Chains A and B, each alone.
Chain A
C-alpha cells in the first residue's frame, strides 16, 4: 500500500504569554520563538506511522505563512515527511480561517493526487479548530475531527473521535480529512540525518498566482472574521461530586440540586 498523504501544519508562537495588539486585536508575533503547532505534530506523527508501516507512502506537508515558515517545513521533513510546500504571498497575509482554508483547498487541488488529509485539531494561537473542517467542506470530502485513535485497512479508515464523555467509533472511506488531537500519539523528534537532508531539500513556495486564487477570497480584506475581543477562558470548575452511600441517595440528592437551580420543576 502506498498512500499519498497531505498534512496541514502551522507555525505558531511558542509561549503562554503572547501579547495581543490592543488595536488590531491580533497576536504580536515579533520576538516570540516559533514552533510546530502541537496538534499538527500529532497529525504528522500519525502520517509518519503509516509511512513506517508502508514505506512507499508519500507525505507532503502544506503550511501557510511568512517566508520564515520554511523552518517549519524543514522540521517536518527532518521528522520524516517527504516534501514541504509553503503558501506564502503578501496577498494571503491576514487571512482568517475562511480565507486560509480557501488557500489550502486550492493547494490541495493543485497537488491533486492524494488519499488522505491530516490536520491538527486547532492551532494554539487562534484556537478556532475551523480550518481543517473548512478545507474538507471546500473539497467536498468527508471529515472526522478530534481523532484519538486511527487504523487503516485498504481504503477504509477506522477512527475513534473523542467526545467530552466518551468517543465515537467511525468508519470512513478514503479520501477524507481527519483532524488530530494530542491523545492520538506522541510525536517523534527530528533526526540528525533528517535535518541535514531537510535543510538541503527544495521547498516549493506557492503564492496566490500559482494557486490561481481569486484575490477576493484570500487575505485580510477578504476575511469576514473581525476579532472584537480576545480573552482567556475561565477554567472550568471541577464540578460537584456526589458520593452518598447508595445510588438511590445520590439520585435523590441530584434531583434536589437540579430543582434548586430550576433546571427541572
Chain B
C-alpha cells in the first residue's frame, strides 16, 4: 500500500499547475463571460503533451499513466472548469476508445494526431431521447455495401463545435437491442452529410463547446467502423467508465480551486474586527470541506491507479465521480457563501466555479446513474 505519488506524477502536477496558472487562469473569467472556446490554450496544451497524457508514446502520446492524467485535468480545472473538460472529453472519450478498440491503421490515422493534440476529439452517444438509456438510440447506420450511411442527431456533445474526430454510436440492428444492436464509428468533421447543429447556451463551463451533431445520409467509410459490428454499447460503456475519472478530476479541481481562493479570501476579509479565518465556526466548515476534497482525491487516484493496473475499476470510477461531483457542489456553494455578496458577483472566481461545478453531477452519467452503476456492482444487474 503506497499512497505517495510517483516522481513523474509529482512533476506532472508541478508542470500543469504552472501552465494553468500562467496560461489558463488569466483568461478564465473572460472566456467564461464571452462564451469563447479557448483555441489558443488548446494549441498550447497540445505542444506540452496535455492532450495525450495516458496515450503511449508510440501513438503520439506522453506515455503517462491515468493518475497523471487525473492530475492534469484536476490542475486545469482548479483554475478553469471549461479547459478541464476540453482536455477530459478529448482524451477519455475520443483518445481512449481509439487506443482500446482501434485497428493499427485507425490508430495511426486518428489516434496519433489526437494524442499529439493536432486534432481535437469528441464523443457522440447522447440523443434527445437517449441519454443514459442508450438503447433508445435513434441514430441509425445502414450498411450500403462499400460504406455506412448514418442518419440521426446527437445532442450535448462536448467539444462539438471544434472537434475534428468524433466517436459516434449508432443503431445498426434495432432487433438486437442495446447489446449487439449498436455500433461505433469514427467520423471526421468533413464527412459528407455530417454537420454541427445548435450550440447550447449553458449555465456553466461556458467556454467549452457543447453542440448538436447532425447526420443526413452521412457517408462513413467501411474502415471507420470502430471495433466489431454490434460492439458499440460495450465500447460506449467502457469509455464512460474511464471518462468518469476525467469528470471526477474536473470536479475535484473545481472544488480545490474554490477552496484555495476561499482560504485566501478569509485571511484578508475582516468583519467585526477580525479576519474570517479567526472564526472557529468558519474554520470547522473549512475543515469539513478540505476533508471531503481529500476523500474525493483518494477515490479518484485509486480508480485511476486501478485502471493503470488493469483491475475492474468501473464501480470505483463511478464512486469517485459521484463523490467528487457532490463535493464540488458542496465546496463551491460554501465558497460563494463565505464570500458573501462578493461571491455572487463575477469579480471573484467562485461564482463561475459554482456554475461550473453543477454539470459534474450531470454529464457522463448523473449522480443517480453513478448510484445505479455502484448498486449493480453490489446486487448484480
Contact = CB atoms under 8 A, between A and B. Distances in A.
B18 interface: yes
Interface string B1-38: 00000111001101100110000000000000000000
Size bracket, chain A contacts: 10 to 19
B152 interface: no
Binding site secondary structure of chain A: helix
A197 to B, nearest CB: 8
B193 interface: no
A199 B11 contact: yes
Given A190-B15, A192-B15, A199 B8 contact: yes
A196 interface: yes
A192 B44 CA distance: 12
Interface string A198-222: 1100000000000000000000000
Nearest to B72: A192
A199 to B, nearest CB: 5
A189 B7 contact: no
Contacts of B52: 192
B61 A193 contact: yes
Q: Chain B contact residues: over half helix, strand or loop, or mixed?
A: helix
A50 interface: no
B57 interface: yes
Given A194-B49, A196-B62, A196-B64, A189 B11 contact: no
B50 A192 contact: yes
Interface in A156-200: 188-196, 198-199
In this complex, the interface size class of chain B, counting residues with CB under 8 Å from chain A, is: 20 to 34
A199 B7 CA distance: 7
B63 A196 contact: yes
A213 B151 CA distance: 76
Nearest to A186: B22
Contacts of B62: 191-193, 195-196
Interface of A: 74-75, 78, 188-196, 198-199
6 closest Cβ pairs, A-B complex: A192-B49, A192-B62, A193-B62, A190-B15, A195-B11, A191-B49
25 contacts: A78-B15, A188-B48, A189-B19, A190-B48, A191-B47, A191-B49, A191-B62, A192-B12, A192-B48, A192-B52, A192-B62, A192-B64, A193-B49, A193-B61, A193-B62, A193-B63, A193-B64, A194-B49, A195-B11, A195-B12, A196-B8, A196-B62, A198-B11, A199-B8, A199-B11
